[in-house]
Amino acid sequence: MIAVKDNQPKLHSHIQHIAATKKPNYRVIETERTRDRLTTRIVEVFHDVNGIDPAWTGIKSLVKVERIGTRKGKKYHEIVCYISSLICTAKEFALGIRGHWGIENCLHWVKDVVFKEDCSTIRLGYAPANLSIIRAIALNILRRNGYYSITIAQRFLSHDIDKLIHLVE
């Protein structure tokens, strides 16, 4: 499954056209309340892939996810489109998309925000990839030792080499 963004304008508009004019093969509506958020997700799956550029080989499903809700008292509405080589129900696609967000929140967000990976000025050769791997290893070591808040772990461990060494023993 791949998210289709505005950098693929023809594909993106084709999916939106299909979603606006055709009846979905599968549809599911889920509502979730967590902390300061209320979100309703509408997932629609379309198997009509006619008219898609033949360069996109293997596409079997078009998926439209509409998210409507409030975040910290502010309303939001967003639509994300996906393509997939799978034929699944809306419920199955919804679970896959939510699972991916779990990875995004537990790994990529931590690396971007807490470890400031996106702010790194290291750009040459293999150094960016190597440092990304080191950050992932550090994250895994911290989580394996029971630190689920990486920010708290950093504050607690950053100036104590003995505690840091104890984590990898």
| 161 found inside a domain | yes
pLDDT at 108 over 80: no
Are 61 and 19 within one domain?
yes
Per-residue HEC secondary structure of the chain comes to: CEEECCCCHHHHHHHHHHHHHCCCCEEEEEEEEECCEEEEEEEEEECCCCCCCCCCCCCCEEEEEEEEEEECCEEEEEEEEEEECCCCCHHHHHHHHHHHHHHHHHHHHHHHHHCCHHHCCCCCCCHHHHHHHHHHHHHHHHHHCCCCCHHHHHHHHCCCHHHHHHHHC
Are 95 and 119 within one domain?
no
pLDDT at 65 over 90: yes
Are 31 and 64 within one domain?
yes
pTM of the prediction? 0.66
Are 136 and 78 within one domain?
no
Total structural domains within the chain: 2
Question: Residue 62's pLDDT is what?
Answer: 95
By residue range, what is the domain housing residue 51? 1-103
Question: Residue 103's pLDDT is what?
Answer: 63
Arithmetic mean of pLDDT, 56-76:
92
Are 87 and 48 within one domain?
yes
Are 95 and 36 within one domain?
yes
Arithmetic mean of pLDDT, 118-135:
91
Of 51-55, 88-92, 98-102, 120-124, give the lowest mean pLDDT range.
Answer: 98-102
Q: Which of 57, 73, 103 is the last residue of a domain?
A: 103
Arithmetic mean of pLDDT, 145-161:
89
Of 9-23, 36-50, 109-123, give the lowest mean pLDDT range.
Answer: 109-123
- What CATH number does residue 88 fall under? 2.20.130.10
Q: Which pLDDT band holds residue 110 (cuts at 50, 70, 90)?
A: confident
Are 82 and 51 within one domain?
yes
| 109 found inside a domain | no
Are 89 and 168 within one domain?
no
pLDDT at 100 over 90: no
Q: Which of 48, 71, 103 is the last residue of a domain?
A: 103
Question: Residue 27's pLDDT is what?
Answer: 96
Are 97 and 128 within one domain?
no
Question: Residue 54's pLDDT is what?
Answer: 83
Are 34 and 92 within one domain?
yes
Are 123 and 89 within one domain?
no
To the nearest whole number, what is the mean pLDDT of the chain? 89
| 4 found inside a domain | yes
Question: Residue 71's pLDDT is what?
Answer: 85
Arithmetic mean of pLDDT, 13-22:
90
Q: Which pLDDT band holds residue 93 (cuts at 50, 70, 90)?
A: very high
